[in-house]
Amino acid sequence: MEILHVSAECYPASKAGGLADVVGALPKYQEQLGHKTKVITPMHKTKFLFDNKFDVVHKGEFGMGHMYFNYTIIKEQTDKLGFAFYMVDIHGLLDREKIYGYGDDTERFMAFQIAVVDWLSKWSYQPDIVHVHDHHTGLVPFMMQYCYAYQHLAHIKTVLTIHNGQYQGWMSWDKAAYLPSWNTWQWGKLDWNGDLNPLASGIRCAWRVTTVSHSYLEEIKHNSKGLEALFEYEKGKCSGILNGIDNAVWDPLTDSYLDHNFNVEKVKEGKLENKKKLCEKFNLDIDKPLFIFIGRLVHEKAADLLPQVISDSIYHMKGQMNFLVLGSGDYHVERHLEYMKGEFMGYYNSQIAYNEKLSHDMYAGADFLIMPSRVEPCGLNQMYAMRYGTVPVVRRTGGLRDTVIDFEEPGGYGICFNDASVWDVTYSIHRGVALYNQPKRLHEVRTRMMKIDNSWENSASKYIDLYKQIVH
Ligand code: ADP
């Protein structure tokens, strides 16, 4: 089968979160299953762009409202990612350092999507499946069916994967003028509650819709920022396929970011070496259990609870544990976490940044990873932590519910709680400290979770089965 993935991010070329990891891994595993896979993203100005060589494979142009853009499609020369990797360059619009966060993101991603569809329409290659990811690519299925210039693509089957339904790309209706001339009888396929909503449009127009875990699919029927009724209405074409992790990138034995590699047989010594390095760097105590948080410091991840969780735990449990936080996001949470460094020196530290290497060092060196998320469509951090022998401390929601079993249940290996509240998280930290003080049990839990297979092989073939339902 021929598959084209369209996404805003793809690791290692660009990454802001889990979407990049998925789009960097899933196509590779689909190739290994014998399918031809291509990925296209905007041309972000990242290190990957400058370190690699690209061929120009297509040039084109299009109008968008009163603007006119030339675009260039480039392809990485060697297929080193394990699949053919393409990027769209629109000078001045897409060639920027950050992936998101600009005032003209609406225009940027609209132009990206038009360029992709335009390229596809002019190319002799026709994929069997166009697989789009999240709202940044949610208008592609609509354009392929209802924009007059592209209607010859309408027979190509489309699949939308929702990695995060909290962001929907809402825009006001005047932005509809950006779309290439379209069949206005179909306006209802763009509209949701009076806004032009790319995610809702993707859900309506794609042939199949997936979410990245089963539990998340159930949750969004009740809580999805206004789309609840749509998910209920379209439930016949929706399914949940749990993300995997890329074992080639996330393996403590071969991870090139680590100074001390280890496997399940050497987990105790290996983690200790990595912890030592972390504790020296961040002025923490190697003998105490180390709890970490890695992720976006946003409401969804319940990062706002961290300052109080950390201070309450240190006070109430008399400093029996250490904390290290890596993340960036909400300004007030960032400032609070920075400020606390002075107050809890020797017990707590943080780096307010995005730092890929440090994240690997932390998964390897920590004892516990905290994820109190209010919303977690799948979550990859807990799976990385498990592979590196770090016990996940998670709220029972979305993908966390589907991937972590409490260590006090049969076959369990994590610490689970129900509410995104300071009390529930601190109580779970308390349970973590107690587990840490039983080295034999901790070792059993670590080795059990390190042996769990969360790799992509399984999930990649589930996507292929899904494609087969619509490609005949
Ligand atoms: P998200 O909702 O952010 O996509 P996921 O759990 O699906 O959450 O994926 C998060 C990914 O981003 C993981 O690979 C995690 O290690 C990485 N990550 C998040 N924040 C940071 C950071 N500040 N520095 C390094 N890596 C980070």
Task: Please name which of 27, 99, 133 lies closest in space to residue 354, comparing C-alpha atoms.
Answer: 99
- Cα 376 to Cα 89, 242, 389, distances in angstroms: 32, 12, 21
pLDDT at residue 472 above 90? no
Ligand 1 geometric centre to CA of 144 (Å) = 32
Mean pLDDT on 213-227:
95
> Does ligand 1 come within 6 angstroms of the Cβ of 294?
yes
Give the Cα separation of 466 and 468 in Å (integer).
Answer: 5
Q: Establish whether residue 357 lines the binding site of ligand 1, counting it when its CB lies within 6 angstroms of any ligand atom.
A: no
- The CA 17 to ligand 1 mean position distance, Å, reads 4
Q: Is 21 in the pocket of ligand 1 (CB under 6 A)?
A: yes
pLDDT band at 465 (very low <50, low <70, confident <90, very high): very high
Question: Residue 147: helix, strand or coil by DSSP?
Answer: strand
Q: Read off the pLDDT band of 125 (50, 70, 90).
A: confident
H or E element in which residue 131 lies: strand 129-133
Instruction: Round to whole Å and give the CA distance between 444 and 320.
Output: 22
Mean pLDDT, the chain, whole residue set: 97
Q: Looking at residue 70, what is its pLDDT?
A: 98
| For ligand 1, atom 3: residue with the closest CA | 17
Nearest CA to 449 out of 398, 388, 408 is that of 388
Does ligand 1 come within 6 angstroms of the Cβ of 354? yes
User: In this predicted model, what pLDDT tens digit does every residue of 245-294 receive, in sequence order?
Assistant: 999 899 999 999 999 999 999 999 999 999 999 999 999 999 999 999 99
pTM: predicted TM-score of the whole model, two decimal places: 0.94
According to the model, what pLDDT value does residue 385 have? 98
Condensed to tens digits (0 to 9), the pLDDT of residues 59-98 reads: 999 999 999 999 999 999 999 999 999 999 999 999 999 9
- Ligand 1 centroid from CA 204, angstroms: 29
pLDDT in tens, 30-48: 999 999 999 999 999 999 9
Q: Say if CB 282 and CB 376 are below 8 A apart.
A: no
Residue nearest to atom 19 of ligand 1 (CA): 295
Centroid of ligand 1 to alpha carbon of 19 (angstroms): 9
The three-state DSSP-derived secondary structure of 70-99 is EEEEEEECCCCCCCEEEEEECCCCCCCCCC
